[in-house]
Structures are given as structure tokens and as C-alpha cells.
């Protein structure tokens, strides 16, 4: 029968902690029972993140130091390793104060590398694990006792998930959203396969609340150790009564895009939605449910695709938003709801309030933008006026909903400037699909521009839906004007839409075939994005309305600057980034004149290319979603603390999270 040692401990002072650890290990035979002279000993702490160093999200460096010192005294050669969710092992260790202690003991830090290993399980006959853990002579597992929104608590078994390579961890978290039992089985098999020689649990100060990283420190005053990681976890579960802890770990997303259900368990969705949820799964430690209303028609997006429902990286629930109730959210164990302000979801903030579930609205369109869209898409003046008035009335309801919501995430500058004052927890972000590995480099810009002489054609681009709202009807007017001005140029147009046939006819009628090329819809990642990085000098944006198009930041990610109409979204990002050239709205001749000026000043385009890229580097796919999930976790914590203040009228403390 495995032995478990537990003691009371209340200090991380190194001298006191060293004595506590010696007392802890004494019933197990001391460190010498596990480490022999010359053994290479992996110390596997919990190095989850470097972003919250004061919140007890990681194993304390003092404990790692004391254990490493005991290993050295036993004749072993310790080294530290982990595969953090965010950043590198050395980076997270440094952010959490490990560096001075590592240097004092000359303790190496390794970044884990993956390799396939055979297991004895029928369910998982092979697992991809870090070879540093599998090939060490001794593995000492050093978990932190924390709450966990997905698994209730995280201790020794879950800490060994850090021995799974980073990309595989993201995949398994995605799988967990669909089948938590299978995720648990994988954790058990991982722990069995690694089979740590010793596990020492850091429970002096734990992490309580929206763990593993979104909660707050909680003094517990215990240390635990065992050669059997399962026995240790089971013992501590009983002590803290974890089996009876309520867990709400579901992120519920109300997606305004409608789903078209198809035969054979399939559904028509967009690739962009799937990519976004996959990225969310990298940072959200829980399940994800996406609720969508049903449509009998295609969604009209250029990246729509058919998916098998049972292979989606989330739970899909097709439901009328009118049927969403507090009971439904509680049934899903929703810990937070992401909704979109608008007439179909303005009531959701109230539903969440009644359910006791925090609500964050994700805002994209201002009243001005929505009225611009109505003006462009409605030719009948009476109908146009009615739409304008309807949007105005909706704005009143929308603002009331945003005020009630616990948080607000604003896509682009226009809605942030309009609504940041009326919600207590606003966040600003730019929508993008560009991951860090896709970004252009300074060297690529240098290569692209080295032969961009003024006697060579200026290479222009537009991409997006070919509709009036996106200004596609002005592109060929700009091209005709440039031709009359005898500017050497090539214009590439990528996209489909209502104006596509008319544009082909206009190109033929005005003999623009030699300078205007229609690209259709090339694959975004493998064809279109590399083409833009390597071949385009300037993006021409004739958008008539200020929607927060991902086009802006994605174009800048290619190191390509933008010349565009003065809609509020482009004006906002241009001012913030100090890049691009803004021209008056609905003035294709002025646009052509500005392009002609730039054609004669290629150095200005080159300089703006670098500035555009450097701004985009701050707003990658990964950084954006990480910031949004951290904001969600803060809103959850803020909501819980606000509820505690409401329940305790004697409390006068202010909440520092959003101060």
C-alpha cells in the first residue's frame, strides 16, 4: 500500500521550508530513498504562466530551490523542465522570480521536446510525451494545489500534463471541451507512463476561484508527498472535500452568424469561426459551447465550409436566442457568456444577471456604421429612413444592455470610443487571423521593395466582398483615373460578390485587362497571404462604412501599407498606428491622385511598410486571443468579488483588478 506524508506548513522562508520538507520526506525514507549518486533528476514544477506572478499560479521558487538542494546533497544532478501554456519554461520561470535561485544552484532549465511512447492502455496505446521526462533517471513532480475550472482541482496528475508538448496540449484541451471523461483518461495514462518517482505538493498557499490562473491566492498550510501520485491526489481530494465543489467551467458563446444544418450530421459554418474557437481552446481551461440560430440559407461568407458536427472543437447548440433562459445557462454550467449587442441579443445581459453568470458583449458596429450600411444597401428613400430610425431605437436598447453587462470587448477603435465610458470593464482589440508564424519579416519587405523603382508598375491590391458597402464599385473608377494619369500600375482584386460580373464587363469595356486582374478566392494561408507579402506595394481600401474589418490589421501583417477612405474604422487604426494614408470618403479621383503621388515616392511606401508591420506584430492572433481570455477571467473574478461585496455590506474594500 502506498504511503502518503502530509504535514502542516505555513512559511516559504527557505530555512523553515527546508526543515518542513525534511520532516515531510522522513516517513518515506528521505530524499536518499529516491535519488542516488549521479542520477539525472528532472524537477517538474507547475510553470503555467508568467502573466500573474503574485497570484500563486505556479509552484513557488523557494520550494523548487529547497528540493533541488536536497537532490544535490543526495548526490543527484537536478535540472528543471516544463512546457508552459504561455511562453517558454525559462521565460515563465524568470517572470516568477526563479532566476536568482536557479543561478545560485547553477540549475539548468530545459525546454521539453516531444516523442511518441508506447503505453499499456487500450484507449491510448501511444502518447506523445516529452523525452526529457521519459529519459530522466528520476522524476520529481512538484505541483501546485489549485482550483481548476475544467477539472475542479489540479495537483500531481494534472501537473504531469506539462510533460505533453505544447501543441498537443492545445489539441487535448480542445478535445476536453467535447469529452471531459476522455481528457481525464488521457491525464491518468500520461501520469502512469511518466510514473514520477516522487511527488511533492505545494499547498502552503493555493490558488482558489477561476483556476488554474484566473483566481486568487488562498492560504491552505499543507505540504504533501508520496511515491504514488494517484494516492497523494486522492488523499488531498478527500481532505479539501473537492468532490463536492461546484464547477462552472463552460464558456458559452452566442454567435450571431446563423448555422445551416445539413443531412448526415453536417453543418455549414465559416472557417474563421472554427479557427477562432481552436485558438480560444489554447487559453480557455474549460469546455466551450457555441449557440447559433438556424438558417435555411447559405451564410454568404466567402470562407463558408461544411463541417461534421461531431468533429467540431466545441459543443454546437442550434437554438433561438429567445429560448435562452437562466436555467439553460445553469444547465450548461456556464462560467461566462459572450454575446453580441443587437436586437437578437440585447436581452442576454438580463438573462445572465438572473442566472448569476457574467456577460461580456463583443461589439463591432457603432450606430454611425450601421446607418452607413443601411444607406448603402437601401435604395428606396422611405425604407432607408425607416431603417435609420430603427437603428436609432436599437442603439438606445443596445446601450442599456452594454451598461448592464459585466464586461465589453470592442473590435476596433470606433465602438471602443463610443462605449468604453458606459461599461465598467471594457477591452479593446483588433480582429485578425494572422498568427505570429505568418507575419512578414523586415527581410521580406527589403526583398520586395529592393527593385521597386518608379519606372516599374506600382502593385495595388483589394480583397474582400465585391459589394457596394465595401466600395468595390469604386475600384475600377480609381483604375481608370490612374490609367488616364499615365501611372504605371497593376491592380489585383480578390473576392466574390454581387458586383463581380459587372466588374469583369467594365474591365473589358475600358481595356483594363493589362493592368487589372481578378483573382477570385485563392486559399488564404497557402496562396493569398504569401502572394501579398511578396508582391504587393499598396492596399487600396474603398470601404464606405466603419466596420472593424480584419482586412486592415491582416494587410499590415504582410508589411503592406493602406491608402483608404476616411471611414471611422480606418481613421482610428491609421491614427493609432501612425500608418497609411486617409483620403476623403467617396472620392475615387482623390484616391487615384494620392496613389499617383505615392507612385512617385516609393521610399515613403517602403518606410510605411515597416511601420505597418511593426504595429501588426503587437496584434497577432495569439496575442489577441490570450488578451481576450485573460479579460474574461478578470471579469469572472470581478463578478465574484462584486457578489461577495453585495452579500457583505460591511466591506468597503475597492476591487483593484480594473483600477
Same domain? For 467 and 415 the reply is no
Check whether residue 455 and residue 361 sit in a common domain.
no
Phi, psi of 427 (to 5 degrees): -135, 140
pLDDT in tens, 67-78: 999 999 999 999
CA distances to 309, 316, 318 from 261, rounded to whole Å, are 9, 11, 9
> The C-alpha cell of 89 is what?
519554461
Cα distance between residue 369 and residue 543, in whole Å: 11
Average pLDDT over residues 443-457: 83
Would you say the C-alpha torsion 287, 292, 298, 302 has a positive or negative sign?
Answer: negative
Average pLDDT over residues 450-459: 80
Mean pLDDT of 484-494: 95
> What is the residue range of 604's domain?
436-616
Number of compact structural domains in the chain? 3
Closest CA relative to residue 395, chosen from 343, 359, 322, 360: 343
Give phi and psi for 626, each to the nearest 5: -60, -45
Confidence at 652, pLDDT banded by 50, 70, 90: very low
Label residue 125 exposed, middle or buried (CB < 10 Å: 0-12, 13-18, 19+).
exposed
Residue 523 and residue 443 in contact, taking contact as beta carbons nearer than 8 Å: no
Rounded to a whole number of angstroms, the CA Rg of the chain reads 28
Give the mean model confidence (pLDDT) for residues 69-94. Answer: 87
* C-alpha–C-alpha distance, residues 3 and 234, integer Å: 12
Give the angle 434-436-442 at the CA atoms, nearest 5°. 100
464 neighbors 452 (Cβ within 8 angstroms) = no
- Residue 445 sits in the same domain as residue 419: no
Collapsed DSSP state (helix, strand, coil) of residue 41: strand
Q: pLDDT band for position 453 (50/70/90)?
A: low
Asked whether residue 350 is domain-assigned, the answer is yes
**143 and 44 belong to one structural domain:** yes
DSSP 236-304: HHHHHTGGG-----EEEEEEEEEEEEETTTEEEEEHHHHHHHHHHHTT--SEEEEEEEE-SS----TTE
Q: Cell numbers of 364, please?
A: 463591432
Residue keyed to cell 477571467: 633
Task: Give residue 125's pLDDT.
Answer: 54
Cis omega before residue 365 (within 30°)?
Answer: no
Could you tell me if 410 and 451 lie in one domain?
no
Number of residues that make up the chain: 659
Residue 73 lies in a domain: yes
Domain shared by 479 and 574, yes or no:
yes
Give the number of other Cβ atoms within 10 Å of residue 218's Cβ: 16
Q: Tell me if 642 is assigned to some domain.
A: no
- Evaluated on CA atoms 297, 287, 275, 637, the torsion sign reads positive
At what angle are helices 61-73 and 14-25 packed, to 10 degrees?
60
pLDDT given at position 539: 97
Q: Is 644 part of any domain?
A: no
> Residue 607 burial by CB count (10 A; 0-12/13-18/19+): exposed, middle or buried?
middle
Same domain, 121 and 179: yes
- Give the pLDDT score at 146: 87
206 forms bridges with which residues in the sheet? Answer: 218
Lowest mean pLDDT among 87-101, 128-142, 274-288, 532-546: 274-288
pLDDT for position 213: 72
Domain final position from 397, 429, 461: 429
Q: Is 396 left (phi over 0), alpha (psi -120 to 50) or beta?
A: alpha
Q: How many CA atoms lie within 13 A of 146 on its CB side?
A: 30
% of the chain surpassing 70 pLDDT: 88
Residue that terminates a domain, selected from 244, 276, 308: 244
What's the pLDDT score for residue 550? 85
Per the CB < 8 A criterion, the answer to whether 166 and 83 are in contact is yes
Cell numbers for 441, please give them.
Answer: 519579416
- Distance from first CA to last CA of the chain, Å, rounded? 52
Lowest mean pLDDT among 310-324, 416-430, 641-655: 641-655
CATH code where residue 29 lies? 3.40.50.11440
pLDDT of 644 over the 70 cut: no
> What pLDDT score does 645 carry?
42
Work out the pLDDT band at 374, boundaries 50, 70, 90: confident
CATH code (residue 268) = 3.40.50
Number of CB atoms found within 10 A of residue 313's CB = 21
Q: Is 659 domain-assigned?
A: no
Q: Per DSSP, which regions of 506-618 are E strands? A: 516-520, 538-541, 562-565, 581-583
> 148: part of which helix (H) or strand (E)?
strand 144-148
Asked if residue 350 has pLDDT above 50, the reply is yes
3 state SS of 413: helix
pTM (whole model) above 0.85: no
Which long-range contacts does 237-242 make (Cβ < 8 Å, 24+ apart)? 237/153, 237/155, 239/6, 240/153, 242/152, 242/153
Q: How confident is the model at residue 651 (pLDDT cuts 50, 70, 90)?
A: very low
Report the alpha-carbon distance of residue 488 to residue 468 in Å, rounded. 26
Q: Rounded to whole angstroms, how far apart are CA atoms 287 and 201? A: 27
Tell which wins on pLDDT, 229 or 214: 229
pLDDT band at 154 (very low <50, low <70, confident <90, very high): confident
92-149 pLDDT, tens digit per residue, is 888 888 999 889 999 999 888 765 555 555 565 556 678 888 889 999 999 999 887 6
Q: What average pLDDT does the structure give for the chain?
A: 86
Strands 304-308 and 266-270: antiparallel
Contact in structure between 102 and 109 (CB atoms under 8 Å): yes
If you ran DSSP here, which 8-state letter would residue 74 be given? T
> Which range (60-69, 253-262, 276-285, 473-482) has the least confidence?
276-285
Residue 344, class by beta-carbon neighbours within 10 Å (0-12 exposed, 13-18 middle, 19+ buried)?
middle
Q: Which three cell numbers stand for residue 103?
A: 543561478
The CA distance from 632 to 208, in Å, is: 16
How does residue 86 score in pLDDT terms, banded at 50, 70 and 90?
Answer: low
Sequence-distant (≥ 6) Cβ neighbours of residue 261 within 8 angstroms: 267, 294, 318
Identify the DSSP state of 653: P
> For position 493, which CATH number holds?
3.40.50.2000
Summarize pLDDT for 175-185 with one digit per residue, the tens.
544 556 777 78
Task: Say what the pLDDT of residue 77 is.
Answer: 96
Q: Which residue has the higher pLDDT, 217 or 67?
A: 67
H/E run at residue 624: helix 621-647
Whole-number pLDDT of residue 330: 87
Query: For residue 641, what pLDDT is reported?
Result: 60
Tell me what percent of the residues of the chain surpass a pLDDT of 90.
Answer: 58
Which residues are within 8 A (CB) of 476 and not within 5 positions of it... i.e. 6 or more apart?
A: 503, 506, 507, 510, 512, 516
Residue 36: in which H helix or E strand, if any?
none
Same domain? 460 vs 551: yes
Q: Which of 545, 371, 578, 584 is nearest to 464 (CA)?
A: 545
In a domain, 658, yes or no: no
Does residue 652 form part of some domain?
no
Instruction: Tell me the mean pLDDT in the region 396-404.
Output: 96
Same domain as 305, residue 399? yes
Last residue of a domain, one of 375, 406, 429: 429
* pLDDT(30) > 50: yes
| Ramachandran bin of 152, using left for φ above 0, alpha for ψ from -120 to 50, beta for the remaining angles | left
Q: CB of 475 within 8 A of CB of 550?
A: no
Looking only at Cα atoms, what is the longest distance across the chain? 91
Both 89 and 186 in one domain: the answer is yes
Q: Is 567 helix (H, G, I), strand (E, B) or coil?
A: coil
Co-location of 413 and 501 in the same domain: no
Is 649 inside any structural domain? no
Q: Inform me whether the pLDDT recorded for 469 exceeds 50.
A: yes
- Are 158 and 257 found together in one domain? no
Residue 656: pLDDT above 50?
no
H or E element: which one contains 533? helix 529-535
pLDDT digits (tens, 9 = 90+) for 585-613: 999 999 999 999 999 999 999 999 999 99
- Which residue do the cell numbers 483588478 mark? 657
Amino acid at each position: 500500500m502506498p504511503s502518503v506524508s502530509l504535514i502542516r506548513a505555513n512559511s516559504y522562508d527557505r530555512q523553515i521550508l527546508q526543515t518542513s520538507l525534511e520532516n515531510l520526506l522522513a516517513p518515506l525514507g528521505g530524499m536518499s530513498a529516491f535519488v542516488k549518486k549521479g542520477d539525472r533528476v528532472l524537477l517538474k514544477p507547475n510553470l503555467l504562466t508568467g502573466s500573474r506572478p503574485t497570484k500563486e499560479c505556479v509552484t513557488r521558487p523557494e520550494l523548487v530551490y529547497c528540493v533541488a538542494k536536497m537532490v544535490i546533497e543526495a548526490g543527484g544532478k537536478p535540472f528543471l523542465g516544463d512546457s508552459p501554456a504561455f511562453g517558454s519554461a525559462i521565460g515563465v520561470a524568470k517572470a516568477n522570480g526563479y532566476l536568482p535561485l536557479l543561478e545560485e544552484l547553477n540549475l539548468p532549465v530545459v525546454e521539453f521536446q516531444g516523442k511518441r511512447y508506447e503505453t499499456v492502455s487500450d484507449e491510448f496505446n501511444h502518447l506523445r510525451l516529452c523525452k526529457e521526462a521519459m529519459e530522466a533517471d528520476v522524476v520529481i513532480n512538484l505541483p501546485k494545489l489549485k482550483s481548476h475550472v475544467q477539472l475542479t482541482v489540479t495537483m500531481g496528475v494534472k501537473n504531469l500534463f506539462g510533460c505533453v508538448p505544447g501543441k498537443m496540449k492545445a489539441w487535448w484541451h480542445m478535445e476536453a471541451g467535447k469529452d471531459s471523461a476522455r481528457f481525464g483518461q488521457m491525464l491518468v495514462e500520461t501520469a502512469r507512463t511518466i510514473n514520477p518517482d516522487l511527488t511533492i505538493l505545494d499547498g502552503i498557499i493555493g490558488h482558489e476561484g477561476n483556476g488554474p490562473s484566473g483566481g486568487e491566492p488562498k492560504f491552505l498550510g499543507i505540504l504533501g508527498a508520496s511515491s504514488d501520485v494517484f494516492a497523494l491526489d486522492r488523499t488531498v481530494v478527500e481532505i479539501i472535500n473537492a468532490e463536492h465543489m461546484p464547477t462552472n467551467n463552460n464558456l458559452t458563446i452566442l454567435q450571431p452568424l446563423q448555422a445551416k444544418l445539413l443531412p448526415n450530421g453536417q453543418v455549414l459554418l465559416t472557417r474563421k469561426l472554427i479557427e477562432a474557437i481552436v485558438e480560444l481552446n489554447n487559453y480557455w481551461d474549460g469546455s466551450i459551447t457555441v449557440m447559433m440560430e438556424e438558417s435555411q440559407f447559405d451564410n454568404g461568407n466567402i470562407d463558408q465550409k461544411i463541417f461534421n458536427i461531431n468533429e467540431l472543437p466545441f459543443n454546437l447548440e442550434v437554438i433561438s436566442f429567445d429560448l435562452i433562459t437562466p436555467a439553460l445557462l445553469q444547465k450548461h454550467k456556464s462560467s461566462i457568456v459572450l454575446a453580441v449587442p443587437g436586437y437578437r441579443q440585447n436581452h442576454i445581459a438580463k438573462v445572465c444577471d438572473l442566472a448569476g453568470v457574467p456577460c461580456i458583449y463583443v461589439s463591432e458596429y457603432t450606430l454611425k456604421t450601421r446607418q452607413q450600411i443601411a444607406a448603402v444597401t437601401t435604395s428606396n428613400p422611405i425604407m432607408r429612413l425607416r431603417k435609420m430610425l430603427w437603428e436609432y431605437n436599437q442603439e438606445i436598447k443596445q446601450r442599456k444592455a452594454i451598461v448592464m453587462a459585466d464586461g465589453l470587448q470592442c473590435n476596433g477603435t470606433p465602438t471602443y470610443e463610443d462605449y468604453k465610458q458606459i461599461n465598467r470593464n471594457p477591452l479593446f482589440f483588433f480582429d485578425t487571423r494572422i498568427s505570429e508564424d505568418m507575419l512578414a519579416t523586415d527581410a521580406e519587405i527589403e526583398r520586395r521593395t529592393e527593385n521597386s523603382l518608379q519606372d516599374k508598375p506600382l502593385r495595388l491590391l483589394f480583397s474582400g466582398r465585391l459589394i457596394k458597402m465595401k466600395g468595390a464599385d469604386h475600384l475600377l473608377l480609381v483604375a481608370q483615373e490612374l490609367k488616364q494619369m499615365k501611372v504605371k500600375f497593376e491592380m489585383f482584386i480578390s473576392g466574390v460578390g454581387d458586383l463581380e460580373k459587372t466588374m469583369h464587363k467594365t474591365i473589358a469595356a475600358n481595356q483594363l485587362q493589362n493592368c487589372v486582374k481578378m483573382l477570385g478566392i485563392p486559399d488564404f494561408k497557402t496562396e493569398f497571404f504569401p502572394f501579398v507579402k511578396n508582391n504587393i506595394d499598396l492596399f487600396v481600401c474603398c470601404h464606405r462604412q466603419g466596420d472593424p474589418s480584419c482586412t486592415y490589421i491582416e494587410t499590415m501583417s504582410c508589411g503592406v501599407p493602406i491608402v483608404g477612405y476616411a471611414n471611422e474604422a480606418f481613421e482610428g487604426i491609421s491614427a493609432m498606428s501612425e500608418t497609411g494614408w486617409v483620403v476623403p470618403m467617396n472620392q475615387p479621383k482623390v484616391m487615384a491622385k494620392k496613389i499617383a503621388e505615392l507612385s512617385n515616392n516609393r521610399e515613403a511606401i517602403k518606410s510605411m511598410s515597416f511601420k505597418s508591420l511593426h504595429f501588426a506584430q503587437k496584434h497577432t492572433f495569439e496575442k489577441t486571443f490570450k488578451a481576450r481570455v485573460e479579460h474574461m477571467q478578470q471579469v469572472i473574478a470581478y463578478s465574484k468579488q462584486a457578489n461577495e461585496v453585495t452579500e457583505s455590506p460591511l466591506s468597503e474594500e475597492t476591487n483593484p483588478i480594473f483600477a
